[in-house]
Homo-oligomer: A and B are copies of this chain.
Amino acid sequence: MIKFDSDYLEGAHPNIIQRMLDTNMDQSDGYGFDEICESAKNRIRRACNTQELGIYFVAGGTLTNLIVISASLKTYEGCLCAETGHINVHETGAIEATGHKVMTLPTEDGKITASQIEKACEDYIHDPTITHVVKPGMVYISQPTETGTMYSKEELYAISKACRKYDIPLFVDGARLAYALASKGNDVSLNDLVNMTDVFYIGGTKCGAYLGEAVVFSNSKLEDGFVFNLKQKGGMLAKGRLLGIQFDELFKDNLYIKICAEPVRFAIQIREAIEAKGYKMRYDSLSNQQFAILPNDALDVLKKKFSYSYMEPYDENSSVVRFCTSWATKKENVEELIKAIEEL
Using a CB–CB cutoff of 8 Å, the interface residues on chain A facing chain B are: 3, 5-6, 8-12, 14, 17, 20-21, 23-31, 59-67, 70-71, 74-76, 78, 89-94, 96-102, 128-129, 131-135, 205-206, 210-211, 225, 227-239, 241-242, 309-310, 328
With A6-B30, A10-B24, A24-B14: A76-B92 Cβ-Cβ less than 8 Å: yes
Across the two chains, which residue of chain B brings its CB closest to A330?
A: B25
CB–CB A66/B21 < 8 A: no
List chain B residues, Cβ under 8 A from A5: 29
Smallest beta-carbon distance A37→chain B, Å: 14
Known A9-B30, A70-B75; 15 more pairs at CB < 8 Å: A8-B239, A9-B27, A11-B241, A17-B17, A17-B20, A17-B24, A59-B234, A89-B132, A92-B132, A96-B99, A96-B134, A97-B232, A97-B233, A205-B239, A210-B242
Task: List the 6 closest pairs (A to B, CB-CB), nearest first.
Answer: A63-B234, A76-B228, A11-B24, A92-B232, A9-B27, A8-B238
Smallest beta-carbon distance A59→chain B, Å: 5
Alpha-carbon separation in the docked complex, A308 to B27 (Å): 13
Alpha-carbon separation in the docked complex, A11 to B20 (Å): 8
12 A-B residue pairs with Cβ-Cβ distance under 8 Å, sorted by A, are A11-B23, A12-B20, A25-B328, A60-B238, A62-B231, A64-B234, A78-B93, A91-B232, A92-B134, A96-B99, A128-B310, A233-B234
**Among candidates B60, B70, B241, residue contacting A237 with C-beta atoms closer than 8 Å:** B60
List chain B residues, Cβ under 8 A from A211: 59, 237-239, 242
List chain B residues, Cβ under 8 A from A233: 63, 66, 94, 97, 233-234
CB–CB B31/A21 < 8 A: no
With A17-B20, A96-B99: A62-B131 Cβ-Cβ less than 8 Å: no
Smallest beta-carbon distance A69→chain B, Å: 11
Smallest beta-carbon distance A303→chain B, Å: 14
List chain B residues, Cβ under 8 A from A6: 30, 238
CB–CB A96/B101 < 8 A: yes
**Among candidates B29, B63, B102, B310, residue contacting A101 with C-beta atoms closer than 8 Å:** B102
Alpha-carbon separation in the docked complex, A26 to B8 (Å): 11
**Among candidates B24, B26, B71, residue contacting A75 with C-beta atoms closer than 8 Å:** B71
